[in-house]
Each structure stands twice: as C-alpha cells, then as structure tokens.
Structure 1
Amino acid sequence: MHTPDYQGSHVGRSILSLRRDQAAADAAAMDPHHRDAASAAQELELELEAFQRQVADRLLDLSSASADDLLSLAWVRKLLDAFLCCQEEFGVILLNNNRANVARSPAAERLLAEFHERSVKALDVCNAVRDGIEQIRQWHKLLEIVMCALGNRRSLGEGQFRRAKKALIDLAIAMLDEKDSSTAIGHRNRSFGRSNASRDPRSIGHFRSLSWSVSRSWSAAKQILAIGNNLNAPRGNEIAATNGLAVPIFTMGMVLLFVMWALVAAIPCQDRGLQVHFSVPRQFVWAAPIISLHDRIMEESKKRERKNACGLMREIYQIEKYSRVMSEMVDSVNFPLTEEKEGEVRQRVQELGQVFEVVNEGLDPLERQVREVFHRIVRSRTDGGSCSST
C-alpha cells in the first residue's frame, strides 16, 4: 500500500482553510448575510471534520484486533457494521444537510456521480460474497454430519466412522474445488434485489445488469480494480470548488474500496485477487489504520498455510485444518476402538465443534449484513440521483 507525500491538499483542521478564511472575512464585513454564510461555513467544516474522525475511529477499532481476531467471522461482521455506520453518516452530510450545496456545484455533482458508479460496481461484489457465504454454509452442513456421527455420547462404531469419513471426503473435495475454480458456478443467479425488479426504474431492479447475477466470466479481482480506478484524493481547487464536500466523497470512496477488498479477501469469490493499489495521503486522519489493516491482511495472505486458501476468514482456515486432522485420524482408526483412541476422537470432535458453533451462530447474521450493505448502496444511489434536481 503506497502512501505518497501529497501536496494537493491539507487534511484535518487545515483542509478547509480557504473556506474558513473566507468565512472570517465575511463576518468582519458586518453584513448579516455574510455573518450567516460564515456561520454556515463553520458548521459545515465541523460536520466534515466530525465525519473524518468517525471514519478514523471505526478503522482504528478494526485495526486494534489481535492476530487471532483479525479476519475472523466476528471481525468481518464488525467491518460491515463500520461501513454501514459510515455510509449512514455520509448520506446525512451529502444527501440531507448539503443537498443544495451539491446541486450548486458541478464539481461536487461530478465527484458524487463517480462515487455512485463505484458503489454500483460494489453490488456485484455483494452478490459474489453472498454466494461465498452459501458455499461456507454447505461446508457447515458437512461438518454437521461429522458432528452427528462422532459427537454422540454412545460408543463409536464402524458405521458412524464410515458416515463421518464420507462427509470429510466430500468437504475436502468441496474446499479444493473452491480453491481451484476461477469461474462461476452455473447457478449463480441469485440477487438481493431480484424481487424488486418490477418496481420503479430507480429501484433495485434498475441495477439488474450489474447485480442480478454473477456471470461465469465475472472476476472479483477485476471488479475491485474497477472500484478503485481513478480514486484519487481531491486537490485544493476541487476542495474549494465543492465547499469541502470533495473530502467526504473521497473518504467514503476509500472506505467502500477497502471494505469490498477485505470482503473478497475473507470470503470465497470467483477469481479472487488482492493486488489493488491503495493511494492514501498520510494527512487523512484515517490513513494510518487503513494502511495498517491493508498490510496485515496482505501479510496473512502470504503465509504458507494461507497462500492458496479459498478465503482468509479465520473460520475457513479452522474448518480446513481441523477437518484434515480429523480425516487423518479417521483413516488410522482400527476396531474395536481402544479407550485411548476413543478419547482422542472425542477431543478432535470437540475442536471441530468449536468452529462449528461459531459458524452456526455467525453466518446468518453475516449474510443479513451483506444484504443490508447491498440495499443501503442502492438507496444511497437512488436518493443521490435527485440532488441535481433540488
């Protein structure tokens, strides 16, 4: 992740210095209209600074995760929660409080339109991630068979081991197929917005061409690159021309890019790839945590045991690890079972049961959050489309 010295703008309290200087001059003129304008300018500046701080706080919280927590299912859910909170505040600033300012500024309208185009591209990522969650759910069902076969309190017999062995083989094949596959499964045609396709043209159905399905040729890696294409920090003239609104638009664009990139890193998606260029000026208060998170996730992806993973989410690694150990143990079992061997089996089942429970409790809430991200992006896009007509 590259963090170049950036001379085009100053971020933080100095980022709107041009506007603040103008506001002070207006106030000094003692004209009531100018005083009102100065007050509005100062209020907007505080609002924009608060948004930057909120984004920084959310990312700092995510970056404070321990090595064991990073990329866990719980961490991914926290990531999506952070995105939803930032998106909500962004909507308040851009679409509620400053709708008229956007409409009066061609530069702001252009930047907001570019942001919405990035958001539309993120809808496909949401659908692909939903497919990945469904894949994990299938693995979870195979784990359940193993748990039912070997997790009961009765004595363990050959029939139970045969059933567990078949489920473990099916699981290994399913996970291997997901690793090797770079094309979509033929039936990937679900969408969070499908039932709404017949509504108003500005409804979810409007995005049908991009988000109704994930085609066989679709690439998560290419989609992430498309979201980040030409995402550059605003220069001083853009900040001045937009009354500072260029800053939150860029900030939310970076948050969108990072969240989609992290989702693709964590969850199985076709043609996954993590090589995307993040250009984050160090002057942004949220730059350090987003750089730290990017670097830590990249380091995780380069570990020998994770290099060819179908997803970096910690529970995926644990499913693969514990099921492999369990499979090796099942293959080595002789009957009748010794007391020592039965104790080892039950210990392995307990280890597998821990990750089973985490996935069992967290997968459905994760899918609901991805669904909410999808719908929130659509609502933001349709609401934002009317800015120019205000």
Structure 2
Amino acid sequence: MPVTDYQGSTSSPFSFGRSLLSLRRDTTAIMPSGEEADLEAFQRHVASTLAELLPAADAGTGAGDASAAAAAAASGEEFLSAAWIRRLLEAFVLCQEEFRVVVAQARRRAGAQLPAAAERMVAEFHERAVKALDVCNAARDGVDQVRRWERLADIAASALGAPGEVREGQLRRARKALTDLSALLVDDAAAASGAGGVASFLSSHRNRSFGRARASPSRTAGSAAAASATASHFRSLSWSVSRTWSAARQLQAIGAGLAAPRAHEAGLAAPVYSMGCVLHLTTWALVAAVPCPDRGNALQAHHLPAAPPRAAFPWAPPLLALQERLAEEGKRKDRRHSCGLLKEIHSLEKSTQKLAEAIDAAPIPLFGDRENDVREAAAELAAVCEAMRDGLEPLERLVREVFHRIVRSRVDGLDSSMHNAD
C-alpha cells in the first residue's frame, strides 16, 4: 500500500459501527471540562471499545462496563473470524480518532504548544504507529494470498459439485486444483511457522492421492514440480515487504519501550501509553490471523510488551483478556501449524483435507456412498469458499483504511510539530 495511494480524505468507503462525527459529539458531551475529565473519559472509551471485542464467554471477565459486556455477548461473531478482525480494526480507528481529539484539546489549553515532554511522547507514538505500516502491507498481502487459496479450492469444489455423474475428467481437475493448493499451503506454512496441518497432509499424500497408480512416475514428478514452481512464483510476486522482513521483529519494534507511565508522569502520558497498547494488540492480532512472514515466532508470548497494571487502567483487563485468548488460539493443537488463525482459513484447511480424503478413497467411476462422500465434501468446501469471499474483501478494505489513517495521523503530527517550531 504505497503512501501515494492516500488522497487525504477522512471519509471511509464503508460505515463504522459508530460514525466519527457522532463520536466527536459523544466526546464533547461526556467531557464537560478540564484536562483530567478529558483523559478519564478517553480511558473509559478505550475500555468499553475493547470490552465489546471480548468473546461471549469472556465478556463478563475484565469488562468493567456492563453494557459493553452485553454488546460483546450479543455480537454473535466468532473470535478471530474476518468479521471480528474488522471490528478490531474499527476499534483501533475509533480509539485513534479519540486520541487525536484529546491531543488537540490539550494543545488548545496549552496555547497551541504542548510542553516539550508531552510533544516528545506524542511524536514517539506516531513513530511507533509508522512501524505498523509494514504490518498493514504484510497483512494485505496475506489476505491476497488467502484469496489465491480460495480460488483453487473453489475450482476443486465446482468441478465435483456440478449436477450429473462425476466423471474422471472432473476428478482430475479437482485433484490438480488440490495439488496446486497443497503446494501453496506448504510454502506459506513453511514461511510462517513450519509446514503442518492440512499442508503436510496434502504434501505427504500428493503422489498417492492425486497422482494415482495409472500416472507414470515421471508424469507425477513433473506435476509436483510444476505445482512447486507455481507456488514459488506466487511467493516471489506476492509480498510487498522485504524477503528478510519478519513479523516477529516488527512487533518487537512496535512494542519496544512500551511501559506504563510512572507516578509523576501526568497529562498525555497515560493516553499515549493506552494507544501504544491498542496499536500493539491490533497489529499482533493481524499477524496472527493471516499469513505473514515469520508469523509463527510472532505468536510467542515473550514478544509482548510488559503487561499494563490491571488496577491502573480501566482498559487493561479486557486488553489482557484478548491477548490471553490470542495466545491460547495459537497454542491449540489444530491451529499450531496453520497458515493463519483466521476462522475462515481454519475452515478452508479442514474442508480441503476432507475433500482430499474423500477423493483418495473414491473408486472410478464413483458410485453409492463414495460418490455421496465426495459430493458432500465438495459442497462443504464450496460453502466455505463463499463465506471466505464475503469476508476477505471488506477486511482488505479496512486494512487499507487503517494504513491511510496512520499516514494521515503522522502527517498531522509533523504539521503540528512544524507549527510549534515556528
């Protein structure tokens, strides 16, 4: 996502849960007067926004606002689904906009120029946020990679979902699509955290399941080599970040030096720290959800910054609860070697494996229960592909929106610094 794509517009191409205009009206209404009241209201807003993201099972734990907990329980969105990731990104944009308002109000009170220490803290947050631009680029590339998987899976499902008798040509087309998909999954799993899951299943079964005894060894080897070449071609063209770029190292850079303000630090110290924690949570979840280079190492808990004191910040309990849930998902046996924790990716992997097993066990021509198994697996995979298509496009748009919001925020910060210098 090059910065030149940004046109400077503050309007989003889609609607947020709460519009930014109504957000500003709400902010003005609940911040009666005084810097202390402004900062306390900001902390409460961050807390309620994060509490709304808690899964229903966790909504009552760590959410101080009962209405926020009820909203979390009623959302109906599964944790780490594409819809949930979109809500997380929306939450970041809302918090960032509130933070911008808080800083602007502080500048007005200070006569347009903050104390040097406060300006330095705000500038440090902007620099931290700029490091998230690479994460947005990698996540956008990851979404595009998942879209390639979906296309291949849809080819396999469509070949076997047509009405009428399933013929050998349809099975060959489905096997070819699954072979190409397996090569991509193995390649991306190796780049992210080591091959495993459906990727290793398909790789180990490629010759037996998709080659069949009737294919000559040379032809089977040639097909596998062609699939690997296709995967390498996709990888060489798909990542806009450097080949040596690491999601784990980038998250460490975003969280570096992120520590709770000391007792004598007042003013904007707490809001800056709050936004740093929200930024790190958002980027960590993005890296965990979609394919990113070195995302396996990024899921390790030791890459997280020091935990905020629960009693000191109202948003700390829901934020820590979300971090703990993300860490638990990464440790699950069926997700440990996945290319991403996104619910739709997990469904695609399971449904693809189910169809591969059904094809492997099916005689030619198909008949009876074997044909029903193949058709059922193909229909399940087709439904997963449709759900994935519905979720990926709005997710990619929102990742782009976050990218441009960060750019705009940084430009505004530089403009303010230059104005203060004058």
TM bucket, shorter chain: 0.7 to 0.9
Specify which of 116, 123, 135 is matched with residue 106 of structure 1. Answer: 116
Specify which of 271, 274, 293 is matched with residue 270 of structure 1. Answer: 293
Give 2:166's aligned residue: 156
Q: Do the aligned partners of residues 51 and 362 (structure 1) sit closer, same or farther apart at CA in structure 2, a change above 3 Å counting?
A: same
CA contact (8 A) 1:144 1:356 kept: yes
Q: Secondary structure, in 3 states, of the residue corresponding to 2:113?
A: helix
Deviation of 1:265 (Å): 0.7
User: Deviation per CA, 1:201-247, whole angstroms, max 9, x where unpaired?
Assistant: xxxxxxxxxxxx411111110000000000111123221xxxx2111
Aligned ranges 1:87-102 → 2 under 5 Å: 87-94=96-103, 96-100=104-108, 101=110
Specify which of 174, 186, 189 is matched with residue 236 of structure 2. Answer: 186
Aligned ranges 1:61-80 → 2 under 5 Å: 61-65=52-56, 69-80=78-89
Measure the CA separation in 2 of the matches of 1:54 and 1:263: 22
Measure the CA separation in 2 of the matches of 1:127 and 1:327: 33
Q: Secondary structure, in 3 states, of the residue corresponding to 1:114?
A: helix
Measure the CA separation in 2 of the matches of 1:56 and 1:354: 36
Measure the CA separation in 1 of the matches of 2:180 and 2:107: 54
Specify which of 173, 183, 196 is matched with residue 183 of structure 2. Answer: 173
Q: Do the aligned partners of residues 99 and 151 (structure 1) sit closer, same or farther apart at CA in structure 2, a change above 3 Å counting?
A: farther
Single out whichever of 252-261 and 60-69 deviates more from structure 2: 60-69
Aligned ranges 1:1-390 → 2 under 5 Å: 42-65=33-56, 69-94=78-103, 96-100=104-108, 101=110, 103-181=113-191, 185-188=235-238, 213-239=240-266, 244-272=267-295, 273-275=298-300, 276-278=303-305, 279-282=307-310, 283-388=312-417, 389-390=419-420
Q: Do the aligned partners of residues 64 and 304 (structure 1) sit closer, same or farther apart at CA in structure 2, a change above 3 Å counting?
A: closer
CA contact (8 A) 1:107 1:238 kept: no
Q: Do the aligned partners of residues 182 and 322 (structure 1) sit closer, same or farther apart at CA in structure 2, a change above 3 Å counting?
A: closer
Deviation of 1:251 (Å): 0.5
Deviation of 1:296 (Å): 1.1
CA contact (8 A) 2:158 2:378 kept: no
Q: Secondary structure, in 3 states, of the residue corresponding to 2:345?
A: helix
CA contact (8 A) 1:188 1:215 kept: no
Deviation of 1:188 (Å): 4.7
Measure the CA separation in 2 of the matches of 1:164 and 1:99: 62
Q: Secondary structure, in 3 states, of the residue corresponding to 2:392?
A: helix
Deviation of 1:182 (Å): 5.6
- Give the residue type in structure 1 aligned to 2:309: P
Percent identity, aligned pairs only, is: 49
Q: TM-score of the superposition, structure 2-length normalised?
A: 0.73
Deviation of 1:187 (Å): 3.0
- Give the residue type in structure 1 aligned to 2:151: K
Alpha-carbon RMSD across the aligned residues, in angstroms, is: 2.1
Deviation of 1:170 (Å): 1.2
Q: TM-score of the superposition, structure 1-length normalised?
A: 0.78
Deviation of 1:66 (Å): 5.5
- Give the residue type in structure 1 aligned to 2:299: L
- Give the residue type in structure 1 aligned to 2:249: K
Measure the CA separation in 2 of the matches of 1:132 and 1:65: 28
Gaps of 5+ in 2: 1-30, 59-76, 194-231
User: Deviation per CA, 1:153-200, whole angstroms, max 9, x where unpaired?
Assistant: 2221111111011111111111111011269943356xxxxxxxxxxx
Give 2:71's aligned residue: none
Give 1:198's aligned residue: none
Deviation of 1:42 (Å): 4.1
- Give the residue type in structure 2 aligned to 1:274: L
- Give the residue type in structure 1 aligned to 2:39: L
Q: Secondary structure, in 3 states, of the residue corresponding to 1:253?
A: helix
Deviation of 1:86 (Å): 1.0
CA contact (8 A) 2:363 2:370 kept: no
Q: Secondary structure, in 3 states, of the residue corresponding to 2:264?
A: helix
- Give the residue type in structure 1 aligned to 2:102: I
CA contact (8 A) 2:137 2:241 kept: yes
- Give the residue type in structure 2 aligned to 1:51: F
- Give the residue type in structure 1 aligned to 2:376: Q
What count of residue pairs does the alignment treat as equivalent? Answer: 323
Deviation of 1:299 (Å): 1.0
CA contact (8 A) 2:142 2:290 kept: yes
Gaps of 5+ in 1: 1-39, 190-212
Q: Secondary structure, in 3 states, of the residue corresponding to 1:218?
A: coil
Relative contact order (alpha carbons < 8 A, sep ≥ 6): 1 or 2 greater? 1
Measure the CA separation in 1 of the matches of 2:48 and 2:149: 35
Q: Do the aligned partners of residues 300 and 182 (structure 1) sit closer, same or farther apart at CA in structure 2, a change above 3 Å counting?
A: closer
